[in-house]
Chains A and B, each alone.
Chain A
Amino acid sequence: METQVHELVGAVHDAAWQPWAVQYFFLVAISVTSLLMALPAFVFGKSADLRAARLALMVAVTTGITAPIALLADLHQPFRFWEFFVYTHKSSWMAWGAWIVPSYVALMLLFAWAIHRPEFDRMGQDDWRFAWLFRLFSLGGASNGFARPLGMLAGLAALGILVYTGSEVMVVRARPLWNTPFLPLQFAATGVVGALGVMLILERMLCRDGALEATLNRRLALALALVAALGGAWFAVAISGVSPVHSEALASVAGFPVWQQIALWGAASVAIPFVLALTLPRNTGLITGLIAIHAAWMFRWTVFMGGQAVPKVGSGLYDALMPTGVAGLMGVIGTFGLWVFLMIVYTTFVPWSGDAADATPSARTSDQAPRKSASPQEI
């Protein structure tokens, strides 16, 4: 017997994880996937990939610093952050994350410093206004043989971030949309898409190297294909009933037109850059990059803010678009603003475009000053 239900009195619940959380998950995923993409060249000596690796490291550092700040902003008691380290609750993925995040940021920064140390040292020995600053940066030496083990450790920490961020959300049974085993994989895959998107934009703005653009676009197409495959598999197991948790996730939102529109929008955000990147790998980097960034960000916005808009016991939907109003929007803009600022600092003070051979740790295992590859004025 069918029963029609009309909710007459109910409570609306605010989103407890706010846009800053979206920014954190977005930026940290970009950072760790960028770092992992930088490792083959810097750690395993795949020198043909150095130009892309330099961009990847730049993205990893700048987003890796911004992400924890966004996370702290989402904490309602930010000055109690130290309690994470005093009262670690081992059953909580967030508690593990509190240890993994600073480890990752520290290792990633040390690795980036080690990679650039020879260049810092060289610039510190040149005769120019800010030489003293670079002598300080280099800590009085050019040796960077330790970059390889640091890179490996940073890579492990990056994998730790991917595992903890995915698991932290996936274990929440109360939110069907989050409680799906595919979610950690989707976070990782869309993280790669976002990272390649940022790298493409930076390539267009800083390098303008058609070959590099084509390489990045081809990788983006691959990553987008993976995202599409994961999305398709998610939908298939949900609609077939093979996986009850996925079926429940789909059922929790399928009846709402707004979610159908989101699904179509998301599919277009994957399909359009995929086709462009595959068919026109040159001169499309700006557009494919922007759409890729949008796709990675939108996925997280949909999962977090959209997921919280699905009531656990009540009917209908809560505010899904911008639940925290202008303050939430400012949070999004503010974190992007911080990232832009860090990009300016990085491109100003870090010799990121130095000679390829100079950047590999194998090339610098002693304190011998490297050959000159770029004048300070070129930085």
Chain B
Amino acid sequence: MDTTRRGFLGAIGQVTIGAAASVAGAGQSASAEGTDVPHWGMVVDLRKCIGCQACTVACIMENAVPEDAFRTHVSVYELVKEGQDPAMVMLPRLCNHCDDPPCLPVCPVEATFKAENGEVLVDASKCVGCAYCVQACPYDARFINHETQVADKCTFCFHRTQAGLLPACVETCVGGARNFGDLNDPESEVSKMLRDNEVSVLRPEMHTNPNVYYIGLDDVLDGRVAGEAAYHPEMADAVQHHGEGL
């Protein structure tokens, strides 16, 4: 199936933004026909992201994400490089659906699992809410859903891809920055983008083999971002600039 946004435009009329699944990927694993099992991945072209947060809102609406959490959001930074004008830089963040996910081996009850198409999912009926996976995720992509009291995260909209639809964030992306598809298919749009562009991943030093790639990612943003924070808790009020160093 064609899993690029453009290919899906024709099917938009069929899209149902229905009641969202309240569990994080509970259900059966992906079924693949034949031997060509898709391996889902996302390529985010940061040159096209305008930071509109439409993806953030679409995800919340699609997946009934509670008020105090995000399965995906767009971090916005102002970068000031020596001798250059300040630049606004967007960085959509989500679960990286790693091929070596650190959240998986720590789960004490095997509630977190890797689905057939590469999605890292949580069986919400099994999760005990110990939050060990939340600690282990190097991308801060997991959280405890305070309505369901279990671990929650992006599922690559498993329920939608199973129905032949794109993830809600990809579907709604205004600038076409988010691209989703089969990394196993050399003819898919995402595979072509990976071939034709220089891409980066977040936190490469963690060796998690993520399946979310970025085009145009500045090196200063690929790990823990050392800079002035948007949020100033009471205890850290004295900090004007965090150099992250000795």
Residues on A lying within 8 angstroms of B by beta carbon are 1-14, 16-17, 74-77, 80-81, 83-84, 86-89, 91-95, 97-98, 168, 171-175, 178, 239, 250-252, 254-258, 308-309, 311-321
State whether A311 touches B224 (Cβ < 8 A).
Answer: yes
Instruction: Give the residues in chain A near B227, CB-CB below 8 Å.
Output: 4-7, 315
If A4-B80, A258-B238, A314-B140 touch, whether A94 touches B106 (CB-CB below 8 Å) is: yes
Does B19 sit at the interface, judged by CB under 8 A?
Answer: no
Residues on B lying within 8 angstroms of A by beta carbon are 51, 53, 68, 70, 73-82, 88, 93, 102, 105-111, 126-132, 134-140, 143-144, 149-150, 202-203, 206, 218, 220-221, 223-236, 238-239, 241-246
CA distance A84 to B111 in the complex (A): 11
Instruction: Give the residues in chain B near A89, CB-CB below 8 Å.
Output: 105, 107-110
Min CB gap B162→A, angstroms: 24
CA distance A227 to B171 in the complex (A): 55
State whether B106 touches A171 (Cβ < 8 A).
Answer: yes
Q: Is the interface of B mostly helix, strand, loop or mixed?
A: loop
CA distance A5 to B88 in the complex (A): 10
CA distance A250 to B244 in the complex (A): 9
Min CB gap B219→A, angstroms: 9
State whether B132 touches A315 (Cβ < 8 A).
Answer: no
State whether A16 touches B135 (Cβ < 8 A).
Answer: yes
CA distance A311 to B229 in the complex (A): 10
State whether A17 touches B236 (Cβ < 8 A).
Answer: no
Find B139's partner among A17, A86, A239, A312 (CB 8 Å cutoff): A312
If A17-B131, A175-B135, A316-B236 touch, whether A12 touches B74 (CB-CB below 8 Å) is: no
Pairs A-B, 10 closest by C-beta atoms: A316-B229, A76-B129, A5-B227, A16-B131, A9-B76, A95-B108, A91-B105, A315-B229, A174-B138, A16-B134
State whether B224 touches A4 (Cβ < 8 A).
Answer: no
26 A-B pairs with CB atoms under 8 Å apart are A3-B79, A5-B228, A6-B77, A7-B230, A9-B76, A9-B230, A11-B73, A17-B131, A83-B126, A89-B108, A92-B107, A172-B106, A175-B135, A252-B244, A255-B239, A308-B135, A311-B224, A312-B139, A313-B93, A313-B140, A314-B75, A316-B236, A317-B229, A317-B239, A320-B235, A320-B236
Residue of A nearest to B206 (CB): A173
